Amino acid sequence: MRSLSSRIAWLALTLGSICTPTAANDYQPIWFHGGQPTPQALMLLAQIAAAADHGLDADDYGGASLEAMVDRLRHEPVPAAEVLQQTDAALSRSALELAHDLHDGRVRPRDAGYAAGSGRAPLDGPALLQRLAASHDLATEFAALEPPFLHYRLLETALHRYQELARHPVLTQLPPLPQRTVREGDAYAGAEALRRLLIELGDLPVLDVEVADSDRQLIDAKLIQGIARFQGRHGLVADGLLSRKTFNALTVPLATRARQIELTLERWRWLPAFTAPPIIVNIPQFQLFAFRTTDDRAADVAQMPVIVGQAFRRRRTPVFISELRSIVFRPYWDVPASIVRNEMLAPMRADAGYLDRNDLEIVQGGGDDAMVVAGSAANIDALAAGSLRLRQRPGPDNALGLIKFVMPNDYSVYLHSTPARHLFGQARRDFSHGCIRVSDPLALAVHVLRTSPGNWSAAAVDAAMQGSTTRRVTLAEPVPVMILYATALATEAGQILYFDDIYGHDRRLDAQLRARRRNQAARIILPPRRAR
């Protein structure tokens, strides 16, 4: 993703290479012929006007002012050369800005907390402008610049639907609940409004809403089913109960839901095309997706619940891209220095049995063969000073469980199993210190080892997990791993899933986009050249 200054330079270079003098005149327009806008110019204006369909803002590309400029030229018998040239350059600039934002996004990933630059190939500005100015289908040209993912396109389609729903804000304005939890058979003054909302959202089929006049203010069985469907799409326990948490989700303005889609589309634009089947973790969804192919289709993807880092700033799971390179069966857990310092030093000093009781040992040196030293007061002080390190011995109670998936990164974050299996039963699963605990480590290991030497069947993986020794297996081919953050997803079945902004990344990105204004320096309008 280019910075603003580099984008300005790119625009200037591109426009300068396109708007070149010819032998006949000093400036050759590409969007006008005989003083009149070409069909491509009018198509470009239509694409800019439809920027909202992609979650963008037409005003960022001078939509209204460009239309006014072009309309004025269309009604002038002999357009002034200076105005013609300036309008042509403005159209080229806006075409490039729209193309850039569709291809790379509007915000640099790192500025939004995403620890990876854009992996997409850079645009060839001059070639792109020439192609756009000659194309008979600009809609297809711009669509080709967007991410090549099915679920990106599904989410764009969902955006249109929610933009339309957002024009009716009364839909989510439900009366307050009469008690903390409303159940089947309870009276609720907003029952009819709730039915209407759930019908519009697709959670309650129209055929299920035949209700007698005397029962219109009752929560009936069909309404309970609709509430459960809504809950399932919003990361809530799908129990059909109209609780405070469910009521809060139901009354989120639909314009806010549309904005969640726009923010997720922005993040999709930062992703590189898949050159190998990846593993993706969507943090606020608490879900892992293991791809069998490079197609993002449900039939080609295995899913499993995960546990991610807590919402506290220093315990959040970071957003980044890496590669899974090896697996460690029965791993040691090298306790991070921050956990040692903040959580373990005090009990170690107060309780002589703390280390043994928790399968912990102080070691000197790196690697699994490091020398174990006594848990003396002097060695605990050395541990506190950083000259020794703390690790937990392998076993069923090890914090990493029986398997660790190693993906080198700057955060010491792993995928791993866990002895705390009961936590996967929670709807919201942000419980770790930043690493990602997977619910089915055996299946994930079989998946990533499928191309590696050896017969890594489920039985073989289980035997290694239950064995008596620590064993590292290097993958024959590294697997791309993308730890991502999306609070809105579209499914192939037509459902739109929403998740809580647990880390506040949506709020941050939303603020950056709202504060972003096109710098006037980026509004490059080449001055008319003097006649020779």
- Tell which CATH architecture fits domain 274-331+396-484: Beta Barrel (2.40)
pLDDT bin (cut points 50, 70, 90) of residue 26 is: low
Structure tokens at 212: 């007698």
Task: Say whether pLDDT at 168 is over 70.
Answer: yes
Task: Say whether pLDDT at 532 is over 50.
Answer: no
The phi, psi pair for 81, rounded to 5°, reads -60, -40
pLDDT digits (tens, 9 = 90+) for 240-299: 999 999 999 999 999 999 999 999 999 999 999 999 999 999 999 999 999 999 999 999
Pairing of strands 287-291, 279-282: antiparallel
pLDDT at 122: 86
Q: Sketch the domain layout of the chain as residue ranges.
A: 4-145+516-522, 169-252, 274-331+396-484, 334-393
SS3 assignment, position 372: strand
471 with 464: CB under 8 angstroms? yes
Percent of the chain with pLDDT over 90: 76
Q: Mean pLDDT, to the nearest integer, of 67-74?
A: 88
pLDDT averaged over every residue in the chain: 89
Looking at the DSSP bridge assignments, the partners of residue 289 are 280, 303
pLDDT bin (cut points 50, 70, 90) of residue 25 is: very low
Structure tokens at 307: 């546990």
Q: Count Cβ atoms below 10 Å from residue 391 Cβ, excluding itself.
A: 19
* pTM as predicted: 0.89
**What is the number of residues in the chain?**
532
Percent of the chain with pLDDT over 70: 89
**Neighbour-count burial of 286, counting CB atoms closer than 10 A to its CB (0-12 exposed, 13-18 middle, 19+ buried):** buried
Work out the angle at residue 499's Cα, subtended by the Cα atoms of residues 301 and 490, and round it to the nearest 5 degrees: 45
pLDDT at 17: 54
Looking at the DSSP bridge assignments, the partners of residue 309 are 432
Q: What is the DSSP letter of 218?
A: B
**Closest to 11 (Cα-Cα) out of 96, 87, 79:** 96
Run of H or E residues at 302: strand 301-309
- Tell which CATH architecture fits domain 169-252: Orthogonal Bundle (1.10)
pLDDT digits (tens, 9 = 90+) for 113-124: 887 666 678 889
383 with 389: CB under 8 angstroms? yes
Cα distances (angstroms) measured from residue 24 to each of 20, 227, 325, 531: 11, 70, 61, 10
**Closest to 400 (Cα-Cα) out of 330, 318, 303:** 330
pLDDT at 526: 42
**Closest to 35 (Cα-Cα) out of 76, 69, 89:** 76
7-34 residues labelled b (16+ CB within 10 A) or e (exposed): bbebbbebbeebbeeeeeeebebbbbee
The full DSSP string for 445-476 is: HHHHTTTSSS---HHHHHHHHTSSS-EEEEEE
For helices 221-233 and 191-201, the axis angle rounded to 10 degrees is: 50
pLDDT digits (tens, 9 = 90+) for 435-458: 999 999 999 999 999 999 889 999
Cα distances (angstroms) measured from residue 232 to each of 253, 439, 446, 449: 18, 19, 29, 33
pLDDT at 313: 86
148 with 295: CB under 8 angstroms? no
Q: What is the DSSP letter of 316?
A: S
pLDDT bin (cut points 50, 70, 90) of residue 61 is: very high
pLDDT bin (cut points 50, 70, 90) of residue 347 is: very high
Q: How many helices (H) and strands (E) does the chain have?
A: 18, 18
pLDDT at 527: 40
pLDDT at 520: 35
Task: Say whether pLDDT at 18 is over 70.
Answer: no
pLDDT at 522: 45
pLDDT bin (cut points 50, 70, 90) of residue 28 is: confident
pLDDT at 80: 77
Half-sphere exposure in the Cβ direction for 33 (13 Å, CA): 7
Work out the angle at residue 401's Cα, subtended by the Cα atoms of residues 398 and 403, and round it to the nearest 5 degrees: 125
